[in-house]
Amino acid sequence: MTDLPTPQSPLKLGTRGSPLALAQAHETRDRLANAFGLPQDAFEIVVIKTTGDDRSMIDADRPLKEIGNKGLFTKEIEEAMLSGRIDIAVHSMKDMPTEQPAGLVLDCYLPREDVRDAFICPDANSLQDLPQGAVVGTSSLRRRAQLLHRRPDLQVVEFRGNLQTRLKKLHAGVARATFLACAGLNRLGMTDVPQSPISPEDMLPAVAQGAIGIERRVDDARAQQMLAAIHDAPTALRLSAERAFLAALDGSCETPIAALAERDGDTLRLRGEILKTDGSAAYAGDISGPVDTAADMGRALAADLLAQAGPGFFTH
């Protein structure tokens, strides 16, 4: 490749501005720099504010479904890439819609981090330890539904904001406990946060939780070649099953859906769960098959759960 980026003409990485988003952009930059023997200043990190980052909406603690759904954290970044303001975009994959806008492609994933949710509470070690009627904060419809399905006595309140903001609200007493992704805590090195990781057997994570994806323009041959050098195929395999499951369910920020694919040799196992937003009903299942049928497995499991749930399950 002869047209590698230089400090004078850097490759521009678009990202949201939260500490976690920046940590993910830095990881992407460092992997690209190491793969091609380039200095860090051959890359420029461009922070882009998205609809989901609007401070007035965060401060108002408005539920995500009132602001929008698909593309809430990606639309402005993708527009910047289509206009040529940035070359590639670094995303948390659990925020990504299952389809990309025309002209863009998402085909590079970094090695996946810890997929689990972490229970965060200063004075309890697990959900079961919380007293009757305790207040739990979360902005995730998936976590809200899973919590209320397991503990309908709990009071679940809206907990918007980035990871640091949610921890501040917890320490301020807005809620007794909250949940964060282990991946985010690990990427930020926040080992001092009192946390109890939750086994996927007890609480399935969001689709693609713990995975970073890098989006590019379809016609950008340089970006395609550079990203191929840092692409993690095992992560891509697992996400193909999980995102096919999500796509078949037409999942959005208004739909509580959980899924996790795990590989064992030549076999892939996919577990999935769909829930009513109020936790009043949940259907879960799993499917196993050859790794080269990952996407087909995702669609098959989605069809099975929808058949169990019956028509109108996601109508609230």
Catalytic residues: 95
Distance CA 34, CA 190 (A): 25
113, 235 in Cβ contact below 8 A?
no
- Which amino acid would we find at residue 65? K
Q: What does the alpha-carbon distance between residue 122 and residue 125 come to, in Å, rounded to a whole number?
A: 8
What does each C-alpha distance from 156 to 57, 153, 222 come to in angstroms? 19, 9, 47
Helix/strand/coil for 283? strand
For 108, the 3-state DSSP assignment is strand
CA nearest to 16, candidates 168, 215, 167: 215
Query: Quick one: which H or E segment has residue 118?
Result: strand 117-120
Contacts of 146 (CB under 8 A, 6+ apart): 203, 204, 256, 258, 273, 275, 279, 282
